[in-house]
Chain A
């Protein structure tokens, strides 16, 4: 996901919020899918709205590749930038915090307060670096489950997320179907295409080729800023679309009337990518980027939970699904969502699907969209009502 979405604090949001931390696996390490284990594990998280006395109104929001726990609200009255899904979470919004208790946690392996490669390795006292074990989406979801148990939530009204967040949603539905009443995977897929893995590999190579990366051991010296910035630039190209780029930049020149006849950022699109790269370096850890992209590439729901069959992966439980794709998303194209829908139908699941016409590419799920908000709120309201009436 990108910072392409320009958020506006409109006064109708969840207001002041606080980042919280939950630490577990202090005495017994947390076993990972790879066979390694890790502990202690800390997850940074935020919550919005009130948990109902019977804990029946909890909605878990899963963030995308480089997102974090800060999905909505502001940290202080002077905070200029609210959470990444401010447009969707708040009173009267798609995820209505007057009705639902929304939880968003930074993923395991992240670098926004959760345990990741930049965290101190208890064995050495120094940052893990490449000693950090390789993770899967399944590990991230299992860690989220530990957090929810800590919060007293044994069943989720819904799990919602886009992109890599959507993969977590699918993992939740396949791994813990009895805990998930509704699942809303947006702009996502049951596994990455070769094209997608290729983009991630080029981004990872940009990082490891940076001399400052130093085999992942850079925490007390210069960081691989250039490599990480290039990785981010590659990401940004994939988050947009040909149409979105044409519309936003065209061949427009940046702060000049003619070519410089050098390798300066002459074009607006170059300047934009460089700016996004620089901004990203300020907040993100390069090793985290390696681990998280790897986890996303390894994700294959049918292989992990269905012995190769996506239908079988969804065979358990009675989760209701709302699958949404966006017409100009070339990173997670609509055909991948349709494959998901087909498997869900074959598994006898209650599934809704909509391909939203949008020109903004993959990033569309982050932008203000009354249509998307309407789909989510309608689906959730019916789910909650049917649950209360005992017909789900």
Chain B
């Protein structure tokens, strides 16, 4: 499994209820189910991804994650995972508030826009960064939010969201290996992963 998902999985308590928003084909949920007896539920917009996941036995709702997350009762889940999707969300604060309502804890990960390679592209080449983590040109990118590790930490403080863990990592977009970055995370990490809850 992908390094970042593996790290997320390590935070999930065995036997818990997990909602994975933007779950793709449900790899994380399948892994959690098999290894930790987790009761997993996914939301995925793409029909073929959702169908592929359901065909592997994962419980997945095909739909828009911002809408689908709204219907659940308070604290319906122990963990809600939003993995590498926040940068594509029109109203991130609203979505995070919904997530923290339906889940006791939230795991949020995103590509760190402040990674040195992005900074170099902007500084030396004068162009919007195109990297393995952010592989789109400015005009066709689904990533409408520019998030840095530092920005997200500040955002949580400002909106009274408790940060239980904030881990900066360096890994490839689909790599099984990676490193946790402890020095200069905002400069050296290409992804940030946060474990959050309401204050």
* List of B residues within 8 angstroms of A351 by Cβ: 59, 61
Bound Cα distance from A355 to B62, whole angstroms: 7
Bound Cα distance from A350 to B41, whole angstroms: 8
User: Closest Cβ of chain B: how far from A371's Cβ, in Å?
Assistant: 5
Q: Is the CB–CB distance between B73 and A374 below 8 Å?
A: no
- B residues 44-85 in Cβ contact with A at 8 Å: 47, 50-51, 54-63, 68, 71-73, 76
A-B contact pairs, 8 of them (CB 8 A): A342-B71, A345-B71, A346-B71, A346-B72, A353-B61, A353-B62, A354-B60, A379-B54
* List of A residues within 8 angstroms of B37 by Cβ: 391
Given contacts A322-B54, A342-B71, A378-B54, 4 further A-B contacts (CB under 8 A): A348-B76, A351-B59, A355-B47, A356-B51
The answer, yes or no, to whether A37 is at the interface (CB within 8 Å) is no
Q: Is the CB–CB distance between A354 and B62 below 8 Å?
A: yes
Chain A minimum-CB-distance residue to B47: A357
The answer, yes or no, to whether B105 is at the interface (CB within 8 Å) is no
* List of A residues within 8 angstroms of B57 by Cβ: 378-379, 381-383, 385
User: Closest Cβ of chain A: how far from B120's Cβ, in Å?
Assistant: 42
Bound Cα distance from A346 to B59, whole angstroms: 15
The dominant DSSP class at the A interface is helix
* List of B residues within 8 angstroms of A7 by Cβ: none
Bound Cα distance from A162 to B50, whole angstroms: 20
Q: Is the CB–CB distance between A353 and B51 below 8 Å?
A: no
Q: Is the CB–CB distance between B63 and A374 below 8 Å?
A: no
The answer, yes or no, to whether B115 is at the interface (CB within 8 Å) is no
Bound Cα distance from A373 to B22, whole angstroms: 24
The answer, yes or no, to whether A268 is at the interface (CB within 8 Å) is no
Bound Cα distance from A350 to B38, whole angstroms: 13
**How many A-B Cβ pairs are below 8 Å?**
61
The answer, yes or no, to whether B101 is at the interface (CB within 8 Å) is no
The answer, yes or no, to whether B170 is at the interface (CB within 8 Å) is no
User: Closest Cβ of chain A: how far from B77's Cβ, in Å?
Assistant: 10
The answer, yes or no, to whether A375 is at the interface (CB within 8 Å) is yes
- A residues 269-286 in Cβ contact with B at 8 Å: none
Q: Is the CB–CB distance between A350 and B39 below 8 Å?
A: yes
Most chain A CB within 10 A, of B39, B60, B61, B68, is at B61
User: Closest Cβ of chain B: how far from A325's Cβ, in Å?
Assistant: 10
Q: Is the CB–CB distance between B61 and A341 below 8 Å?
A: yes
Q: Is the CB–CB distance between A354 and B50 below 8 Å?
A: yes
User: Closest Cβ of chain A: how far from B27's Cβ, in Å?
Assistant: 14
Chain A minimum-CB-distance residue to B15: A391
Q: Is the CB–CB distance between A346 and B55 below 8 Å?
A: no
The answer, yes or no, to whether A175 is at the interface (CB within 8 Å) is no
* List of B residues within 8 angstroms of A350 by Cβ: 39, 41, 59
User: Closest Cβ of chain A: how far from B142's Cβ, in Å?
Assistant: 21
* List of B residues within 8 angstroms of A346 by Cβ: 71-73
Q: Is the CB–CB distance between B55 and A377 below 8 Å?
A: yes
Bound Cα distance from A190 to B63, whole angstroms: 20
Q: Is the CB–CB distance between B54 and A352 below 8 Å?
A: yes
Q: Is the CB–CB distance between A374 and B51 below 8 Å?
A: yes
The answer, yes or no, to whether A320 is at the interface (CB within 8 Å) is yes
The answer, yes or no, to whether A305 is at the interface (CB within 8 Å) is no
